[in-house]
Amino acid sequence: MGFGNFFKRKSSREIAKDRLKILLISDRVNCSPEMMDMIKTDIAKVISKYMKIDAKSMEIQITKTGTKGRMKTPSLYANIPIIDVNK
């Protein structure tokens, strides 16, 4: 992450896209957007104890996965940019 990107604001298009993603994800697993925000915040707090992360660029996804013959179950995926491991 460059220093110039630190102060860059997201465009309204990017914000709307992020909100739509959250809405679609929450609809898939019957999880409210508020609950998704709480999950994201909690994950960021825990990981921040051990390393410096870019919480604003963090992405959380909940998808339904499964194997043959099994029902699909929700799975949580997190993409968390790590800035520094030695906090």
CA angle, 14 as apex, 39 and 7 as ends, to 5°? 85
Per-residue pLDDT of the chain (87 residues; tens, 9 = 90+): 455 555 567 788 887 877 777 666 666 666 777 887 888 899 999 999 999 999 989 988 877 776 666 667 777 888 999 999 875
From 49, 50, 75, 81, select the one nearest 62 (Cα to Cα).
Answer: 75
